[in-house]
A and B are shown apart, each in its own frame.
Chain A
Amino acid sequence: MEKKTTHKAPLFHVRKKDDTTLIQAILIRAVFVVLALLVSALFIYFVTKLDPISVYTSMFKGAFGTSRRTWITIRDTCLLLMISVALSPAFRMRFWNCGAEGQVLIGGLTTAALMIYFGSKIPTVLLLLIMLVVSAAAGGIWALLPAVFKAKYDTNETLFTLMMNYLAIQLVEFFVDIWDKKQSHSVGIINMAGHGGWFPEVLGQQYTINIILVVVITVAVYVYMKYSKHGYEGAVVGESVATARYAGINVPSVIRRNVLLSGAIAGIAGFVEVAGISHTISKQTAGGRGFTAIIVCWLAKFNPFIMAIISLFLVFLDKGAAQIASDFGLNEFASDIITGILLFFILSAEFFINYSISRSEPVKEEH
């Protein structure tokens, strides 16, 4: 019997490319941003029957319309950036820390506890230092636990860190119930009267300390990962554990150290959120930023400057969405669609920067 076999060749081939120049990359991104704006404009015009230009103007106003809005946008960008930076030492080793949400929460929880119990007893500057250290330690421990198990028993860190999130959420709920005096299931604003443990205004601005902390940590992590021996060891472990071993790197110790660092920074982010922004604690304190940061960190390929740009963009979309809801009565679903379209195109741009598509050559029939 003769059986005719034909290999069906795909029409296109996708190839990884490494030769995209910076200018090409910027051009590709620009084209996709324009495309995204055009497609959203179509949605806005045909579905919501609004003028796209005024909707975009409104989004911009939502993020930068007043100096206060600008500061809030900067404040929120800083926080998201900080958590993204926190993830990078772990991600660099391909240790999938999905537990930033819990690490932020636990840092926030310890901060809130210190504010509640010592807010009026310890001078604020000293208290802030204590909170910084304690929140870093708490976040660090929260991350270290899965790392120890990973290093020793090779457990799955994704599941373990996720599990730690739920533990943190339950702990926060537990303490909210203890601290909630009015049976309202919320702690309310802590130390509203004396501002004990609140970030003080510096240079006439409420969020100066937030910004300083984020900048210092971001630069420090960048230097650590790029120029220090320890940072390099992490990168080697990420590329290949076998290579790292061969090079005489103590793999478990590197995992522990980098993950501890990762959790500690996330814990500090919790401290910034509670002492520097919201002055309260609830299970919404992390607000999903621990998960959003995963996207930011991964998209930016650990480059903190690109992380800052992506963080700003995501916060901008969030503020813009709230503003168009306010101005045009478009509810969350409509804003989500616009945000979704914009994100889709921007992620697509990354694809075209990293891969090229070419027409496949006809496959010769084999016999």
Chain B
Amino acid sequence: MKKLFTSLTAMLMAVSLVGCSSNKPADNTPATAAATAEAEATAEAAASGEKIGIILVGDENEGYTYAHMLGIKNAAAKLGIAESDIIWKYSIGEDQKCYDAAVDLVENGATLVISNSYGHQSYMMQAAQEYPEVTFVADTGDNAWTTGLDNFKNAFTSVYESRYVSGVVAGMKIAELNEKGELKEENFNEEGNVKIGYVGAFPYAEVVSGYTAFYLGIKSVVENVTMYVEYTNSWFDLTAEATVADDLMSQGCVIIGQHADSTGAPSQLQKNMEDNKYGFTAYSVGYNVSMLDVAPDVALTSASNVWEVFYEYAFNCWKNGENMKTDWTGGYNEGAVEITALGSAVAEGTEERVNEVIAQIKSGELHVFDASTFTIGGETPTSIMGDIDADFTDDTECLIDGYFHESEFRSAPYFAARIDGIVEETE
């Protein structure tokens, strides 16, 4: 399974990244055109002693940053960019330090500066205003295209696709449990729906988009499910994630998904199983990294990003002196998202089903946010607006041709509608 994914990913990357302009999504964004004039000026970047500057919110001890570091190193190796051409700034907080780091990188020869955390965005923008000849990219940021700056970019993977697929894995497991009669009375709510839990970081669009995709993935396999979402109000909090997971399980949830960066939830589920705490087993669907190390018996899979694909695109543009697109995004078609190796607990036939679904997503046959698959307020939606310019008000109709166009108007997710069957538990 994993081998298949790796080779598929490699093939895809080879195909999709020959040229910088071959990536298709997010082409509605403005300011992708004005490229050629600058191109000549910055051509042959590497040869003239120009550097790439990287600003990271953590270091290799933090999973999210580690995934970025790995992606950067692999991409650089593939493109033959020397290690000495990359300047690293570790553990840069989302404050003035980010601006200081960005300017310092420019003074040390960087002509491409990339930061990896959302909160870096406004400091990157400040630097971008001051150094128009340098390209600044704020990964996971959302406002580059609204700034009108030609040298300020955003990038975000279409991770909702792999979340949907991880939902399919969970759905298969629920179907199997149901068939074998292993579901208990407490695993159903009063409407007779199977209970699913979700550990969310914050009630933001990025998280809403993710858990909705996950839920729809489950629903594509089993119809009668209800998902309960609880927030930790932190991106990384081992204890809070474990507590929330335990709480959801005590309410009878048999699957616990997550959009938070630690291993807290799966570890707790593994422990609960070993202690036989609630008389049933709940299974984990993780995020970022495989949870099989911490939860070998209950981890099904994790939705994850392959940042290498983005870095290869960005470095290639830098090398060839081409202007990057303002919003970069990539999903299964670009090899930029994947689910991690399936655990031993997955239901029979999962692998086949997963491959099928991935193929459908790639061919465009299946749309994750297909409006015919969910309801809002009891009705099939005919319009869903999105807040694309990030000013806190919905401004753009995103429900076109029967599905919600996520990450196409800009790279950062903006699906924030609350659909039926998902209950947000806020204190």
B77-102 CB contact bits vs A (8 Å, 1 = yes)? 00000000001111101111000100
Cβ proximity bits A273-298 to B, threshold 8 Å, 1 near / 0 not: 00001111010110000000000000
Q: Which residues of A contact B296 (CB under 8 A)?
A: none
Within the assembled complex, what's the spacing in Å between the Cα atoms of A185 and B119? 8
Give A192 to B124 CA distance when docked, in angstroms.
12
A181-B391, A186-B119 given as contacts; is B96 within 8 A of A280 (CB)?
yes
- Give A188 to B143 CA distance when docked, in angstroms: 12
A68 within 8 A of B: yes
Q: Which residues of A contact B89 (CB under 8 A)?
A: 322, 326
Q: Are A331 and B60 neighbours in the complex by a CB distance under 8 Å?
A: yes
Q: Do B204 and A192 have beta carbons less than 8 Å apart? A: no
Q: Which residues of A contact B126 (CB under 8 A)?
A: 189, 192
**By the criterion of a CB under 8 Å from any partner CB, how many residues of chain B are at the interface?**
33
Question: A residues within 8 A CB of B7?
Answer: none
Decide if A189 touches B59 in the complex (CB within 8 Å): no
Complex Cα gap A280–B99 (Å) = 12
The contact string, 1 if C-beta is below 8 Å from chain B, for chain A 167-208, is 000000000000001111110110010000000000000000
CB-CB < 8 A to A192: which residues of B? 122, 125-126
Alpha-carbon separation in the docked complex, A277 to B108 (Å) = 22
A284-B142 in contact (CB<8A): no
Which residue of chain A lies nearest to B141 when distances are taken between CB atoms in the complex? A184
A183 and B119 form a contact (CB under 8 A): no
CA distance A126 to B231 in the complex (A): 43
Interchain CB contact under 8 A, B96 and A325: no
Partner of B202, one of A69, A181, A185: A185
How distant is B282 from chain A, measured CB to nearest CB, in Å? 29
- Check A325/B90 contact, CB under 8 A, given A182-B392, A189-B122, A189-B123: yes
Contact B104 A329, beta carbon cutoff 8 Å: no
A72 at the B interface (CB under 8 A): yes
Chain A residues within an 8 Å CB radius of B108: 66
Known: A68-B104, A69-B104, A278-B96. A184 touches B118 (CB 8 A): yes
Per-position contact with A for B202-221: 1 when CB-CB < 8 Å, else 0? 11110000000000000000
A68 touches B121 (CB 8 A): no
CA of A183 to CA of B125, assembled, Å: 18
Determine if A350 is an interface residue (Cβ-Cβ < 8 Å): no
Whole-angstrom distance between the Cβ of A343 and the nearest chain B Cβ: 19
Please give the distance in Å from B127's CB to the nearest CB on chain A. Answer: 11
Q: Which of B104-125 contact A (CB under 8 A)?
A: 104, 107-108, 118-119, 121-123, 125
Residues of B within 8 A of A322 (CB): 89-91
Q: How far is the CB of A147 from chain B (nearest CB, A)?
A: 31
A340 to B125, CA, bound (A): 36
Residues of B within 8 A of A326 (CB): 87-90
Q: Is the CB of A72 within 8 A of B100?
A: yes
Provide the residues of chain B in CB contact with A68, threshold 8 Å: 103-104, 107
A332 at the A/B interface (Cβ < 8 Å)? yes
Shortest beta-carbon contacts, A-B, top 10: A278-B96, A188-B122, A189-B122, A183-B204, A331-B59, A186-B119, A325-B90, A181-B392, A326-B88, A182-B390
Taken together as a complex, chains A and B put the C-alpha atoms of A331 and B119 apart, in Å, by 22
Is B61 an interface residue when CB atoms closer than 8 A count as contact? Answer: yes
Name A190's closest neighbour in chain B (CB-CB).
B122
**A277 CA to B289 CA, complexed, in Å:** 37
Whether B121 lies near A66 (C-beta < 8 A) is no
Within 188-212 of B, Cβ neighbours of A (below 8 Å) are at 202-205
B59 touches A277 (CB 8 A): no
C-alpha gap A72/B61 in the complex (Å): 28
- Residues in A neighbouring B118, C-beta threshold 8 A: 184
Report A-chain residues with C-beta under 8 Å of the C-beta of B205: 183
A184 to B61, CA, bound (A): 24
Chain B nearest CB: distance from A123 CB in Å?
A: 23
Candidate in B96, B100, B205 with the most chain A CB atoms within 10 angstroms? B96
